[in-house]
Amino acid sequence: AQSVAQPEDQVNVAEGNPLTVKCTYSVSGNPYLFWYVQYPNRGLQFLLKYITGDNLVKGSYGFEAEFNKSQTSFHLKKPSALVSDSALYFCAVRDLGSSNTGKLIFGQGTTLQVKP
């Protein structure tokens, strides 16, 4: 069965420092991986995705993610955090067992707090 795990409920980082939000996955075939961000009282916004190719994926708002097949990880990163990056972040993997329905399996979410 496919699954995705976000091992940290919360990540705290000082403004200007680099940030990493961790995600690991388990799939039975090629992984298709996504990151979303949710600001308070808002819906989820798509940040970036890994389909194939370059292991470093660049996305919106200066975020990037590194795909590591041997470690089955897809960590979200940003070189210099902003206070406005404070939000809830979700990692998701495409459900490969669901044919052509586009279903995603989401992690439990990681709250990122960036302090001034």
Q: Which residues in this chain contact other proteins in the complex, by CB under 8 A?
A: 9, 32, 34, 36, 41-46, 49, 51, 90, 94, 100-104, 106-109
Q: Which is nearer to other proteins, 25 or 34 (CB)?
A: 34
Q: Nearer to other proteins by C-beta: 14 or 51?
A: 51
The nearest distance, CB 106 to other proteins, in angstroms, is 4
CB of 3 to other proteins, least distance (A): 11
CB nearer to other proteins: pick between 13 and 33: 33
- Min dist. Cβ of residue 108 to other proteins (A): 4
Cβ proximity to other proteins: between 29 and 116 the closer is 29
Question: Using an 8 Å Cβ cutoff, are 2 and 28 in contact?
Answer: yes
**At closest approach, how far in Å is the CB of 70 from other proteins?**
22
Q: Are 35 and 89 in contact (CB under 8 A)?
A: yes
For the chain, strand residue ranges (E) read 3-5, 10-14, 19-21, 24-26, 33-38, 44-50, 56-58, 64-68, 73-78, 87-94, 104-106, 110-115
Pick from 28, 16, 40, 45: which is nearest to 96 by CA? 28
* Beta-strand relationship, 56-58 and 110-115: unpaired
